């Protein structure tokens, strides 16, 4: 899969790196003007070369340099934020609910931060679907996001989504979203 990195000064695909290579590029990230932290975190989820302990170690190592950018993902790409945060953890339904509630709270904190207000975060609107128990209810999302309720609920009913379609859906949406990834992060 082409993640667009190879066209730019960073001639690698994050999702094909092994753990040592991640460490190298994280250590040297300042040399690459197109280093994309959102792409980095997303790739940890997708990378087939990393074992689960390596994924966790890579994430923790990335946090040393990019924790602040990572926290912004709650607004920019909340699904990736939750997926990366919960690596290796078997979330109960209650855990998952709590995690999304925290994301929704933190989104407001980020949006209310005066310093942040002047930065371009694009247009967000609330995920507001007809399902009373929807885990994304109240979540701020971009209209183009795979978490916008239209793209999430229209073509698959909720139970199907919650069971098996997750990864397929993610792959499909990933393709569509590649176009906008590059301007989603501006640190």
Residues that bind Zn ion (CB under 5 A): 129, 134, 136, 149
Q: Which residue lies nearer to Zn ion by CB, 44 or 134?
A: 134
Tokens representing 152 are 């999430």
Q: How far is the CB of 166 from Zn ion (least distance, A)?
A: 14
Q: What is the largest CA-CA distance in the chain?
A: 48
Minimum CB distance to Zn ion smaller for 122 or for 150:
150
- CA–CA separation, 136 and 147 (whole Å): 8
Q: How far is the CB of 153 from Zn ion (least distance, A)?
A: 6
- Work out how close the CB of 144 gets to Zn ion at its nearest, in angstroms, rounded to a whole number: 16
Q: How far is the CB of 135 from Zn ion (least distance, A)?
A: 7
Output the CA torsion 76→79→81→82 (10° steps).
150
Nearer to Zn ion by C-beta: 26 or 82? 82
What does the alpha-carbon distance between residue 159 and residue 161 come to, in Å, rounded to a whole number?
A: 5
Least distance to Zn ion from the beta carbon of 115, Å?
31
Is the CB of 87 or the CB of 129 nearer to Zn ion?
129
| Cα separation values, 66 from 27, 36, 149, Å | 11, 10, 29
Q: Given the complex with Zn ion, which of 21 and 138 has the nearer CB atom?
A: 138
Q: Is residue 104 left, alpha or beta, with left meaning phi > 0 and alpha meaning psi from -120 to 50? A: alpha
Q: How many CB atoms lie within 10 A of CB 139?
A: 25
């Amino acid at each position: 899969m082409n993640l667009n990195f190879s066209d730019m000064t960073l001639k690698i695909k994050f999702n094909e790196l092994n753990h040592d290579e991640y460490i190298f590029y994280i250590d040297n990230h300042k040399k690459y003007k197109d280093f994309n932290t959102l792409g980095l975190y997303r790739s940890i989820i997708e990378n087939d070369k990393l074992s689960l302990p390596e994924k966790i170690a890579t994430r923790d190592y990335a946090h040393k340099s990019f924790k602040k950018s990572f926290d912004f993902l709650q607004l920019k790409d909340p699904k990736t934020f939750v997926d990366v945060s919960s690596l290796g953890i078997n979330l109960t339904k209650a855990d998952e609910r709590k995690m999304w509630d925290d994301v929704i709270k933190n989104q407001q904190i980020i949006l209310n931060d005066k310093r942040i207000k002047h930065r371009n975060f694009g247009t967000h609107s609330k995920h507001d679907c007809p399902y009373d128990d929807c885990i994304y209810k109240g979540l701020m999302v971009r209209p183009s996001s795979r978490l916008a309720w239209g793209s999430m609920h229209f073509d698959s009913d909720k139970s199907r989504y919650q069971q098996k379609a997750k990864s397929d859906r993610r792959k499909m949406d990933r393709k569509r979203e590649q176009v906008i990834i590059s301007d989603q992060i501006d640190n």
